[in-house]
Amino acid sequence: MYIGDYLGRRELYSPEKLAIIDAGKTSELRLTFAAWNRRVNRLANWLRTDAGVGYRDRVAILAQDGVEHLDLFHACSKLGAIHTALNWRLHWRELAGIVANTAPHVLIYSDKFKDAVAEIVQAAAGAEHAIAHLVHLDGDGLPGSLRYDDLLAASPDTPVAYDALAAEDIACLLFTGGTTGLPKGAQISHRQVCWNVLNTVIHDVQHDDIYLNVFPLFHIGGLFTYLSSQVVFGNTTILVKQFDPAQVLDLLERERATIFAAVPTMYQMLTQAPNWASADLSALRFCTSGGAPLPVPLVEQYTREKGIRFKQGFGMTEYGPGLFALPPEDAIRKAGSIGRPNFFVDVRVVDEENRPLGPHQPGELVLKGPSGCSGYWNDPAASAAVLDAEGWFHTGDIVEYDEAWYFYVRDRKKDMFISGGENVYPVEIEQVIYKHPAVLMCAVVGVPDAKWGEVGLACVVLRPGQQVTAAALFGLLRQHLAPYKVPKRIEFLDALPLSGIGKILKRELRERFGREL
């Protein structure tokens, strides 16, 4: 067996150590590693015996953060099954497409998303990907749905393990925003999980660290950035249902958290919370920021008012997630840098001909090493497209580095932008806009926004003699896309700037409209 039963090992080594504080529950849940492992054994036994889940079968969950996400991940690991976390920010049609592609045997969901689940189930009815079992976490649930607490109570806590599990077996699917079509399911192997733990430990995790997670658990940032290392080390992790600045500050102080990670928008919001001035954050050894460069004035405010040391991180779903790290001593001196590569990651910067570039020469970031994913689920073409003949993974990010090997992100080759920590792909939005018969041409670009970092701006050219209002286009977009993907503004233009071969020059649109919205 290649590990797999992470919690079984942890119960053996430190059964009475506090593992989880789920502060998102109405009655806060605190679990030792022994209690948690037995809870997960109950779920694994139900999945295997009652739901017929086995090796490589998928089990999906659609819920805000809570211990149930982690229950399912570890139960799947014990069975050799594949944990499939769904992004609750997506439109139900997008989720239905993912369900059709992954064909989960079981869907676990919370009452908040019951209506979306009903649509997904109806869309899947009668098809090969019809969902056999529904499990609800709270509320009354849909007809025929089983209550999560009931199945735990009725199942034995006898140990479960898939003895034939290998390093390359897939632990979970995590979905990245697709440049075209549906999000792609990155296949995260147990090998990738273990190498990420090692890179994270080198990054400065210690025994007895207490980590507060605010990232969604359908993200690589939530499920793996620090959380997997906390389990392997036998440390305590605090969960919240969703990011609430005042609650986060209270928990950091009350539980004497030593590690915290967030995106810059969250750090800004914490400083505006009513309890910011009084919050005692002295137990924090460091904070990590990712998703976008952390503004120097914000670093200075945290240092001045709370004595916080910052690390800047950079990663991606398909690799790591930890790829680069900027230590606290460089937070201001090297502001804007993503730092240097982590220990077990090979990196290059290459030109369009795949030739390595030197310092201060912008090019595409390519990666190689044991912490890479195993391609995309049911998408061999997309898997092949990101790997070159020498096995380098092409990220699509344009970076450069200096003489001391500090790296800087300069552009995004695929025009992706990041809004509130979420990747947004313009082509996906443009495809929806083109559904309207009055639209001749359109282009979506990311522009600066004080709250979200970047938001979408849609530039639209109408067909001669046709008319459509911005409100009508917004309505169309909201019918098909998650709210965070819907552009904040629509501009109607007479023409879009084009290159000599007819390509839309999005850079010119960003320069023209790139003021803060």
Q: What are the residue boundaries of the structural domains of the chain, listed by start?
A: 6-189, 417-513
What does the pLDDT average to over 469-475?
Answer: 97
The confidence score (pLDDT) of residue 64 equals 96
What does the pLDDT average to over 197-203?
Answer: 86
Rg (CA), the chain: 23
Strand partners, 213: 239
**Band of pLDDT at residue 179, cut at 50, 70 and 90:** very low
What is the distance between the alpha carbons of residues 176 and 69, in angstroms, rounded to a whole number?
A: 18
Strand partners, 399: 363, 409
- What is the CATH architecture assignment of 6-189? 3-Layer(aba) Sandwich (3.40)
What does the pLDDT average to over 209-217?
Answer: 96
Q: What is the pTM of this model?
A: 0.84
How far apart, in Å, are the Cα atoms of 212 and each of 235, 250, 255, 260, 380? 11, 11, 9, 6, 37
DSSP letters, 70-104, are HHHHHHHHHHT-EEEE--TTS-HHHHHHHHHHH--
Strand, coil or helix: what is 323?
strand
Strand, coil or helix: what is 399?
strand
Give the least confident one: 6-10, 135-139, 320-324, 398-402. Answer: 320-324
What is the distance between the alpha carbons of residues 406 and 396, in angstroms, rounded to a whole number?
A: 19
Q: Which tens digit of pLDDT belongs to each residue from 429-456?
A: 988 998 898 988 889 999 999 889 999 9
The confidence score (pLDDT) of residue 352 equals 87
Output phi, psi for 337, to 5 deg: -85, 150
**What's the token pair of residue 451?**
């709250």
Output phi, psi for 516, to 5 deg: -65, 130
Q: Which of 338-347, 415-424, 497-506 has the highest mean pLDDT?
A: 338-347
What is the distance between the alpha carbons of residues 195 and 374, in angstroms, rounded to a whole number?
A: 13
389 CB-near residues (< 8 Å, 6+ apart): none
CATH of 417-513, one of 3.40.50.300, 3.30.300.30, 3.40.50.720, 1.20.20.10: 3.30.300.30
What does the pLDDT average to over 158-174?
Answer: 95
Between these two residues, 313 and 347, which has the higher pLDDT value?
347
The confidence score (pLDDT) of residue 3 equals 75
Q: Which tens digit of pLDDT belongs to each residue from 132-148?
A: 999 999 999 999 999 99
Q: Quick one: DSSP state of residue 404? A: T
Enumerate helices (H) and strands (E) in the chain, giving the number of each: 16, 25
Three-state SS sequence of 29-42: EEEEHHHHHHHHHH
Per the prediction, the chain carries an average pLDDT of 91
Among candidate residues 345, 336, 285, the one with its CA nearest the CA of residue 315: 345
